[in-house]
Structure 1
Amino acid sequence: MDGTVLLGSLVDDRHQTWRGHPERPARLHAVARALADPRLDEAVEPLVPAPATEEDLARVHDPRYLEAVAGLAEVGGGDLDGDTHVAPGSWATAVAAAGLGLAARDALRAGGAVAAFVAPRPPGHHATARRGMGFCLLNNVAVTAAALADEGERVLVVDWDVHHGNGTQDIFWDDPRVLYASTHQWPAYPGTGAVDETGGAAAAGTTVNVPLPVGATGDVALAAFDDVIAPAAEAFAPTWVLVSAGFDAHRDDPLADLAWSAGDYAHLARRVAALAPGPGRTIAFLEGGYDLDALARSVTATVAALAGVDLETEAPTNGGPGRSAVGRATAVQHRLRDEQELP
C-alpha cells in the first residue's frame, strides 16, 4: 500500500554521552541524512513533535524513578550503570523523545498518512518501570503502547532490535492488551528473551520470543515473522502495530553478530505493517543501530518500504543458521494455542 510516512525526530537533542560511547548524537544525524534521500521526497512528511506529559510517563514508569532521573540531570548528571549516562540535558531530551510516538498517534488518527517513523534518542526498549539501562532512560514505545491500550486499543509491539527489549517485555508482562513479539540474538545483552518467556498469569501467550543464534541471516528473520509472530498477531487481532526498530542486527554493526542487510529490513517492514488492520495504524521507533552508514541505509530501506516506494538497496541475506530456533519458537506457540484452545 503506497502512501505518506510521517517522520518525527528531536528538535533539540541535548542528551550527551561520553566520548567514544556508541549511542551518540551522530546517530540522529545519520538518520536525518538517510531521510533526506531525494527518492523519498514525495513519500514523507515531517511530524510536529510534542513532549510527553507526566501522566503519559507514569503509565509505564514508577514516579520515584522519574523523579530520580530528573533530579540527577538537574544536579549535573551521572551514570545509571556502566552503559547508561544522564547528562544535564538528558531529561528534557528524553521527555521530548517519549512524546514522539504520541504525536505520531495523533497525526495518524487525523488521516493522510499510512505510517510513521520516529527517531527518539535515547532509545527506550531496555528501560523498565523502575530502572534505566542499556543506553535507555524512558521506554518510548511503551509510553505510546500504554496510552493506546488505555484508550481501548489492542497493541502489537514488534521488536526487531538485535538485543531483547527486556524493559518492554517487563512492563507488559501481565497486560493482555499488549502483545510483545521479539526477534533477537541469543545469547546476548541483556540475557532475557528465552523462547519459554511467554507472559504472566494474567496475560499468558502475549509475549513471543524468537531468540536467534550468531550469524542468523534475514531469511531466518522472515521465517520467524511468518511462522511465529504473524500467527500470534492474527490471533491477537491488533488495532495498532508499533515497532521497536533497532538496526543493530545489520551485519556491519559493531555491537552484535547477526548478519542482516538493509534489504532485509525492507522486507521486515512490509511484513510488520501488513499486521495492522489498515493504513495509519503503524509507528516505527528507532532503537539501536551503531554503524552510522549501515544505520542510514537501513532506515532509508525501512521508511521506503512503509511508504510503498521500491528502492534499490542491499540484497537480502540468506543461508545463515537459526531455522531450528524458529522451529522451537513455533512449537512453543503451538503448545500455547493448544492449552488455550486458540485457533
Structure 2
Amino acid sequence: MIWRLLFDRVLRRVDAETAHGWGTAALRLGLGTPLVRRAVRRVLAPRDPALRVRALGLDLPSPLGLAAGFDKDAAHVDALTALGFGFVEVGTVTALPQPGNARPRMVRLPADRALVNRMGFNNAGAEAAAARLSAPRDRTTIVGVNIGKTKRAPDAAADYRASAARLAPLADYLVINVSSPNTPGLRDLQAVDALRGLIATVREGMEQAQRTVPLLVKIAPDLADDDVDAIADLALATGLDGLVATNTTISRDGLRTDPAQVAAAGAGGLSGAPLADRSLAVLRRLRERVGDDLVLVSVGGVETPEDAWARLQAGATLVQAYTGFVYNGPLWPARMQRGLARLAREARSGSR
C-alpha cells in the first residue's frame, strides 16, 4: 500500500506533529475547492443505506465520525467529510487562543498503534473557529464542536460559557471536554457537583446565543466505575443528550513498546489500540446504566470495521476514531465505511 510505504519510509522519521501539519496542508491543497471535494465525495463518502442513522436530531450518512483532536481549528471539515467521515468533531476549542504546551508534544508508539499527546489545547480560539464555521459549508458536512477550558482562564465556568455562546449557533452539537489530561485541573471538573454546575453554565451560553443544540460531555477512561455510574446518573438527571466515551488515558499498562521508549515519550494522554478494552468496558457500563435514554459516542482504539461494529453492538449510537486515521491514511475512512456497511448487511441477513 502506498500509504504504508510513505508512513514507514518518510512519516515515521518525522516529528508526529510536523507530519500532521503536512497532512492537513495536503488536505487544504488537494481538497480546497468545492468542485474537487464533490468529485472525491462521490467516490469516498458513505452512501450505503445500511449505514444511515438518526442521532442527536440529525440524519447522518454513517455512525462513524472523526473524533476531536485532528481538526482543532475547524479548518478542514468539508475535506474530511469528503474523505468519508459521517460527521466531524472539531476542537478542542477554547474561548481564548492559546499556543498549547511546548514541543515536542506528540509521540508515536508504532508497536502499539498508539499516540501520546500533551498538546494542551493548542488552538486559535473560539472567535477564529467561529469565523471558519460561519463560512458556507458543503451540504453534507455535519460538525460537532468540542469545547474546553483556556489554561489561563481564572473562571472555568465563564470560559466555557463564552465558547458555548460563540459556537452553538454554528455547531450541530456541542461537547463539553472535561477529560483531557493535559490541562491542569481539568479532570477535576468531572466530579459530579462541579460538572452539574458546568452543564448549567454551558446551557446559559447557548441561551445567550439564542440557539440550543444537543449537548454532550466527554469523559476519561481513567474514571473508577463508581464515578462512571455517577456521571451517567447526572447525565440523565440534567437532561444531557449524550456522553462521549472516552478521551485519552494516562495509563501505560500492557504496552508492547520498550519501557525506555515509553518513558522517553513522556507525560500525556495515550490514544489508539491500547485504549480499546477500557473504552469498550466504559461504553458497556454506560449503556447498562442509562438504557436507551442517551446517545453514547464510543471512541478509543477503533481501527477496523470490526472494532466499530463491536462498539455499535455494545450499545454505541455513534463511533469516532482519530489514531486509526493517523496510522492508516486518507483512504482509511472510506475503507472503514465499506467494511462497516458489509457487517451491517450481514447482520441484517442473519449471516453473522
Specify which structure has the bigger relative contact order, considering alpha-carbon pairs within 8 angstroms and separated by 6 or more residues: 1
* TM-score between the two structures when normalised by the length of structure 2: 0.34
* TM-score between the two structures when normalised by the length of structure 1: 0.35
Higher helix share: 2
